[in-house]
Amino acid sequence: MLDFLWNLGSFIVALGLLITAHEYGHFYVARRCGVKVERFSIGFGKTIWRKVGKDGTEYVVAMIPLGGYVKMLDERVEDVPEELKDQAFNRKSVWQRIAIVAAGPIANFIFAIIALYFMYLIGVPSLKPVITSTTPGSAAAQIKVNEPMQVTAISGQAVRNWEEVNLALVGHIGDDSLTVSLAPLSGLQGLDTDTRTYTLDTRQWRFDPEKESPITTLGLGVYRPAIEPQIALISEGSAAANSDLKVGDTLVAINGQQYTDWQAFVDIIQHSANVPVELTVRRNGEQFAISVTPASIKNSDGKEIGVLGVSPTQAQWPENMRLQLEYGPIDSFAIAADKTWQLVAVSFKMIGKLFTGDVSVKNLSGPISIAQGAGNSANYGLVYFLGFLALISVNLGIINLLPLPVLDGGHLLYYFVEVITGKPVSEKVQEIGFRFGAALLLMLMSIALFNDFARL
């Protein structure tokens, strides 16, 4: 219940900020173009806060925080007194109307830059993208790794951490090839920094973004600190919690077989659902035999597996693999703008690949997934929440630019037709477009909601 409330609260804060930024873009440019704004509303439905400004605009916060709007004086909607007609939206030039409509999505891109600016100004703890192996038979199998290598670029785009590697790889879903640039890890065992670039054949590269990582499916073996056989955590209410196991116990053997590595231990546990196993552990210099029965759960494929409820101790990350992405006031702005551009480019690529079939509609996410993302990022701290806000803000801006008549992009389409033809699109054509756009948008939202519920 607490997780639900935290996710909901984070979602409302995130959506409120993004909607405010978007609508303020429309509001600001409309006012500069001499349009009278009658209402600025964040949310829909019943009003929970209201104030009339000196400018005559009614500022409202409504009950349902799933959108917002700026109501402008418009003769197409209502009768306008003669003395106010020059302040009506429909009386403005086509280029002014284009500026007012485009200002919303542009404000979302500006908001993303601001969020990322403060994120980089505060500093983001991160990890260098270091690989220690490649998977035989994978797209990356041609890369021979004899020592830890750092990924420095994907298809010429510089990358500094695993998040940037992931973002760059996602943009290549459905492509025939990509390049990976590697250099020996700086400062490790006195290695030099010669960069080597490999062209990978990705025609057979397929993966489910919801379940698999593009990094591992490509065949890159991510460096991870050694896992030690000492129990670091026991989950409350788990099979381990109901046994004699304790935090700090060192695993020695399972069912009489010597402990070798954590993955082998996990494999045995997963194949022992509801079947007692005997663990030999060392505690305070003495060895004990403890019987425990792993609980049974179903994995994402619907298969029944055993779960013990323990986590191992992991060695510390080496200092030369840690990275602090922190910059000064000027550099932070340049890097934030560049990162926003990358997010915009990848988002447009994904939309294109959604229509070509390279990306499945199963990957569409709705409000439930966004709420979970908001809560998870907020859990990690302010800098991660800022990064999440930037990502969603970019996506909100791009979605609104889609040429669907119910969205900003649809209005812009009509206005550009007016620029080319010299006359407005007919009311009949606009009405047909609005109906088609509403139906398509409703279908996409339904798919996204279905996907959300399927992931729960």
Structure tokens that stand for 352 in this block: 């294109």
Residue 412 is classified by DSSP as H
- pLDDT value at residue 54: 84
pLDDT > 90: percent of the chain: 34
* pLDDT band (50, 70, 90) for residue 363: low
Q: Greater confidence, 327 or 370? A: 327
CATH of domain 124-225+316-325: 2.30.42.10
Q: Can you state the percent helix, strand and coil of the chain, rounding each to 5?
A: 45, 25, 30
* pLDDT band (50, 70, 90) for residue 28: very high
- 176 CB burial (10 A radius; 0-12, 13-18, 19+): exposed
**What distance in Å separates the CA atoms of residue 365 and residue 453, rounded to the nearest whole number?**
10
Structure tokens that stand for 435 in this block: 């109906």
Is residue 75 annotated as part of the catalytic site, yes or no? no
* pLDDT band (50, 70, 90) for residue 189: very low
**What distance in Å separates the CA atoms of residue 147 and residue 273, rounded to the nearest whole number?**
39
**What distance in Å separates the CA atoms of residue 203 and residue 205, rounded to the nearest whole number?**
6
**What distance in Å separates the CA atoms of residue 137 and residue 252, rounded to the nearest whole number?**
34
User: 48-52, 187-191, 367-371 — which one is most confidently predicted on average?
Assistant: 48-52
CA nearest neighbour of 351 among 407, 284, 403: 403
Domain boundaries for CATH 2.30.42.10 within the chain:
124-225+316-325, 228-314
* pLDDT band (50, 70, 90) for residue 190: very low
CB 389 within 8 A of CB 115: yes
**What distance in Å separates the CA atoms of residue 431 and residue 236, rounded to the nearest whole number?**
58
The mean of the pLDDT values for the chain is 86
- pLDDT value at residue 455: 59
Mean pLDDT calculated for residue range 12-30:
90
* pLDDT band (50, 70, 90) for residue 83: confident
Mean pLDDT calculated for residue range 257-263:
88
222: three-class secondary structure by DSSP: strand
Q: Which fold has domain 228-314?
A: Pdz3 Domain (2.30.42)
* pLDDT band (50, 70, 90) for residue 370: low
Q: Greater confidence, 111 or 210? A: 111
Write down how long the chain is.
456
Q: Of these residues, 23, 38, 163, 210, which one is catalytic?
A: 23
Q: Greater confidence, 364 or 408? A: 408
Structure tokens that stand for 35 in this block: 């349009």
- pLDDT value at residue 185: 78
Directed axis angle between helix 382-401 and helix 2-32, to 10°?
Answer: 50
pLDDT tens, 149-162?
999 999 999 999 99
Structure tokens that stand for 388 in this block: 């999440």
Termini Cα distance of the chain: 15
